[in-house]
Amino acid sequence: MDYIGGPTSASPAESVRDGGGDAALSRRAIGQITEISGSSSQCRLDTAFVAQLEHALDPCLAMCGQVGSQVKVKVGGIWLMANLRTLRFDPDTPGYTYGDIDFLGEGDEERLTGRVYNFRRGVTRYPSPGSEIFPVSSDDMKQMYAADDRPHIEVGNVYPTRDIRGALFVDAMLGKHFALLGSTGTGKSTAAALILHRICELAPQGHIVMIDPHGEYSAAFRTNGALFDVSNLAMPYWLMNFEEHCEVFLTTQGAERQCDADILAKCLLVAKAKSRVAEGISKLTVDSPIPYLLSDLTQNIVAEMGKLDKAGGDNAPYIRLKSKIDEIKSDPRYSFMFSGMLVADTMASFLGRIFRLPGDGKPISIVDVSGVPSDITSVVVAVLSRLVFDYAIWSRNEPQRPVLLVCEEAHRYVPSERTAHVSAVGKILGRIAKEGRKYGVSLGLITQRPSDLAEGVLSQCGTIIAMRLNNERDQAFVKAAMPEGARAFLDTIPALRNREAIMCGEGVAVPVRVAFDNLDEHKRPASNDPLFSELWTQAGGEEDILARVIKRWRSQGR
């Protein structure tokens, strides 16, 4: 059966050279459906005609018939759009290739031109085996990927086109969390900065908190962000809940840790009860964010130890606790959190600064934790994350101010159970992933090792933006978390170029491969790799460099 339209007077290559040949090519069938099975079906393509399509000027037509390209099937007055996932050759039927296709959605047929319009996700009618398959043109792609009237941000061009814009629907993306994944060197940090800049432009009164573990993003948000590091963060220690207090002050494990925790809870409650802020609070607990003096806490510990001495009890837990608290008080590295200046009731001003309430034209807070001592970095991230969540819970009766929490290097803080014990930060980020959207808290996870994330956290992300992943375990992990219709795209993840990504889920109309826009130099994060070949040709001034570095090193300053 000659289902591709019969012979023509001129070859497609000649038609293209004559001009106007693309329209004729797009109306010719390139194959047939051979088997239908739910979201995935099988097809047969005419190898000779697919080869002729390579001469088309339209990049979408030229790519048709390759893995990752789109095709369409007509059912009544509807066009079904599908993605070509696999191709294989059968020596018994030369001249044809066989492939698997995944249906993406459907659109109505424009009567005069036959083009697709009013595209929507999902399939209402399936084609029959033997139905003809047609190539998808750039005009069809524009209809597929055109952003509707919902608020959206444009982040790049749909592959392989040069002018069809790839968009993310902001409310859908933030309402159900998102994840940005990619191996080191793929442009992940620049892509994150691009997306956040676009969101800030769309919502200049937004409330975004970004945890930056490497100090990369301050350079990108100098003009439209509030920048915090150990020099100006001034995070009061008394904002920690009891679990976070334990992570900082307790050094033991097992039964000894439980004993130390009981002592700390008793003495902490007494210290908080002395505060003027605690007056009139009938249900004061160790988790209440009440200002207290560290000196009061150590005095209570000494007083409790004094009671033991008379009875001949074991005073080792008291000495351990007091020594650890005194050590932290005297260590200048911890002064951003444990300074004596942070005892006043500054909770309102601290939350206002970090959550951008009001924003003052700077809707994003970049919290650079690179200078925070490594042993309490996770606690600092836990406090900031929990404050976002607790604020959302306790402000439910107020005018809503949703907050987006973006966590770079997320696998550090929400590690899978097989790689680390469950910490306070892992618990709170896991809880935000599961419950945050109910309270207006959105979570953005950025990581280069998705397989090291806690089980279930990635699956809570409604939108996944996957850049190139080199590790097979990471690729398999992402495939398991992505929706069925994106499978054809996922197979191309190892082959993505730098600054390219597969976007799928709630934030896009259909899964799409996008080449991200270029970002202005002053809006990029400071994450460029060092150029060894260039830097190793430079010499001079090493003595001064060493002197300055050692001075900062010894004073633990920057």
| DSSP result, 419-451 | TS---HHHHHHHHHHHHHHHHTEEEEEEES-GG
pLDDT digits 0-9 by tens, 4-27: 444 343 444 444 444 346 677 778
Spatial separation of the C-alpha atoms in residues 160 and 432, rounded to whole Å: 37
Provide the edge-to-edge strand list for the sheet that holds 165-169. Answer: 165-169, 152-158, 512-516, 500-505, 463-466, 178-181, 441-447, 403-408, 208-212, 364-368, 225-228
Task: Please name the residue that has the structure tokens 């309270």.
Answer: 439
Spatial separation of the C-alpha atoms in residues 371 and 16, rounded to whole Å: 60
- Among 471, 509, 510, 468, residue whose Cα is nearest residue 490: 468
The pLDDT score that the predictor gives to residue 484 is 58
Q: Which residues contact 320 (CB under 8 A, 6 or more apart)?
A: 251, 252, 260
Q: Contact, 167 vs 147, CB < 8 A?
A: yes
Spatial separation of the C-alpha atoms in residues 301 and 492, rounded to whole Å: 60
- Among 488, 501, 494, residue whose Cα is nearest residue 471: 494
Q: Which residues contact 249 (CB under 8 A, 6 or more apart)?
A: 264, 321, 324, 325, 328
Q: Residue 444 has which token pair? A: 């953005």
Mean pLDDT, residues 40-44 taken together: 85
Mean pLDDT, residues 356-382 taken together: 88
Q: In the structure, what pLDDT confidence band is assigned to residue 421 with cuts at 50, 70 and 90?
A: low
Burial 441-456 (b: 16+ CB within 10 A, else e): bbbbbbbbbbbbbbee
1 pLDDT above the threshold of 70? no
Task: Please name the residue that has the structure tokens 């130099």.
Answer: 521
420 pLDDT above the threshold of 70? no
Mean pLDDT, residues 409-436 taken together: 79
335 pLDDT above the threshold of 70? yes
- Among 90, 92, 143, 83, residue whose Cα is nearest residue 116: 143
The pLDDT score that the predictor gives to residue 381 is 92
By mean pLDDT, which of 26-30, 217-221, 389-393, 440-444 is the weakest?
26-30
Task: Please name the residue that has the structure tokens 């002592």.
Answer: 263
pLDDT digits 0-9 by tens, 474-496: 888 887 777 655 666 777 777 78
407 pLDDT above the threshold of 90? yes
Greater pLDDT, 265 or 140: 265
347 pLDDT above the threshold of 50? yes
pTM of the full predicted structure? Answer: 0.84
Q: What integer best gives the mean pLDDT of the chain?
A: 83
Cis peptide before 160 (omega within 30 of 0): yes
Q: In terms of DSSP bridges, do strands 165-169 and 152-158 run parallel, antiparallel, or are they unpaired?
A: antiparallel
200 pLDDT above the threshold of 50? yes
